[in-house]
Amino acid sequence: MPTYTSLQTEDPAIYEALVGEMKRQTEGVEMIASENYVSPAVLECMGTVFNNKYSEGYPGKRYYAGQEFTDAVENLAIERAKQLFDAAHANVQPHAGAPANVAMYFALLEPGDTVMGMDLSHGGHLTHGHPVTYLTKIFKFIRYKMKDIETGEIDYDEMRQVALKEKPKMILAGFSAYPRELNYAKMKAIADEVGAVTVADMAHIAGLIAGKVLRNPFHDGFDVITTTTHKTLRGPRGGMILTREAELGKKIDKSVFPGFQGGPIMQMVAAKAVAFGEALKPEFRQYAKQVVVNSKHLAAYLMVKGVKLVTNGTDNHLMLIDCVKSWNLGGNEIETLFDRIGITLNKNMIANDTRKPMDPSGVRLGTPAITTRGMKEKEMEKLADFMLTAVASRADETALLKLHEEVKTFCRKFPVPGITT
Ligand code: DSN
């Protein structure tokens, strides 16, 4: 466990901010669906002297000397990733999820090619073709949506019709705010009809796939998976690209380096190896299962209490509350209100939202981090009660202060890995 004594002496300002952040994480409830707590071993690995090494290239084929130990850790990360996801090839160097997606696009497409991805407001991600990204200057993005927002079912018939007309070169599955399981087999069948490559960006659900709780897109014939490593997978911040067949992996490698990135961040590659080793253990499978059990339980409990969830439930680790329909309040107001009592989640657009991104109709919340802390079904009900009490008492400052103290007391029973204060 790091002691931070050198940091305390050398840079008290940063040390103080770190202490504040450790306190915030310990005393608060982390319900941002994309966040998690890494193990002490992963945390230690991120602060090692692997930081000091330049390692452009790949194991056995580097541009600089002195790679015997960096090669060892990168090879371990690659082999463990392949085993976790039934992949033929793994590139563990992407610095994060967005760079992984950029490298993936350039590996598989030519400028001007068409990509079919999920609409952002229906759960997709910025890097799947939102107009604010530079990607839209290079590729053409077309969208698919839910057919029925009450169930969350994707409109696969419309997707097929549009694909037949527009002939996308890539069909992209994946999301950052969609609570349902996707039908990869249907998407693959459409892609095969139009000759498109299939890519799943499973950043949000990688840990649930590794833990065998959700379906692995490779098992339905998808060609490529991109992901972050720090969400449900519970590793260091970073990205990764996997391919089902080895041949495609060569294109991916060239695209990541030298195509797009420079030297890998080797302490993060080492920490990825540690996290993947943890994810291969039976305890991780149990963790992934509990993430979804907790999520479904929380969703069901909230709905019984009259809260309106987008798609009326969840199959994965996250859910979206329609705050306007539930309480006649905006997502921003709810985010701020819950933050005041120590529950952190994020405002989020919901399907067909008429409000703006900075003040949308919904909030997104999830169970990966609280499950890592050991919370189970009983605690999901407690957390829902805290949230509902906050809404009911929102005009009563004294009640909110009292509630915040109750949340802190509740949190102290569930230690955060890697924090000893
Ligand atoms: N920021 C991540 C999320 O919260 O889903 C995605 O990039």
The number of beta carbons lying within 10 Å of the beta carbon of residue 11 is 12
Burial label, 321 (beta-carbon count in 10 A; 0-12, 13-18, 19+)? buried
Q: Which atom of ligand 1 is nearest to the CA of 33?
A: 4
Residue 215 sits in the same domain as residue 328: no
Show which residues are catalytic: 54, 56, 201, 228, 231, 237
Core vs surface per residue 41-65: b (16+ CB within 10 A) or e: ebbebbeeebeebebebbbeebeee
Element (H, E) at 224: strand 224-228
Does residue 367 lie within any of the structural domains? Answer: yes
Residue 103 sits in the same domain as residue 183: yes
Mean pLDDT of 146-162: 95
Instruction: Say if CB 225 and CB 233 are below 8 A apart.
Output: no
- Tell me which residue has its CA closest to atom 1 in ligand 1: 34
136: pLDDT confidence band, cut at 50, 70 and 90?
Answer: very high
Residue 237 sits in the same domain as residue 364: no
Six-digit token pair at 34? Answer: 């994309």
Q: How do residues 233-286 score in pLDDT, each as one tens digit?
A: 999 999 999 999 999 999 999 999 999 999 999 999 999 999 999 999 999 999
- Tell me which residue has its CA closest to atom 4 in ligand 1: 34
Residue 61 sits in the same domain as residue 164: yes
Contact partners, residue 311, CB within 8 Å, separation at least 6: 146, 149, 150, 151, 152, 179, 180, 320
Q: State pTM to two decimals.
A: 0.97
Residue 211 sits in the same domain as residue 297: no
Mean pLDDT of 376-381: 98
Residue 264 sits in the same domain as residue 295: no
Residues 231 and 317: their CA atoms lie apart, in Å, by 10
Residue 165 sits in the same domain as residue 269: yes
Q: How do residues 37-60 score in pLDDT, each as one tens digit?
A: 999 999 999 999 999 999 999 999
- Tell me which residue has its CA closest to atom 6 in ligand 1: 176
Of 247, 279, 311, which marks where a domain is finished? 279
- Strand duo 343-344 + 29-30: pairing: parallel
Domain total of the chain: 2
CA trace torsion 270, 275, 280, 285 (10° rounding): -170
164: pLDDT confidence band, cut at 50, 70 and 90?
Answer: very high
Domain harbouring 344, CATH code: 3.90.1150.10
Residues 279 and 36: their CA atoms lie apart, in Å, by 14
Residue 213 sits in the same domain as residue 124: yes
Centroid of ligand 1 to alpha carbon of 414 (angstroms): 25
Most ligand 1 atoms within 8 A of CB, residue of 176, 233, 318 to mutate? 176
Q: What is the reported pLDDT for 121?
A: 84
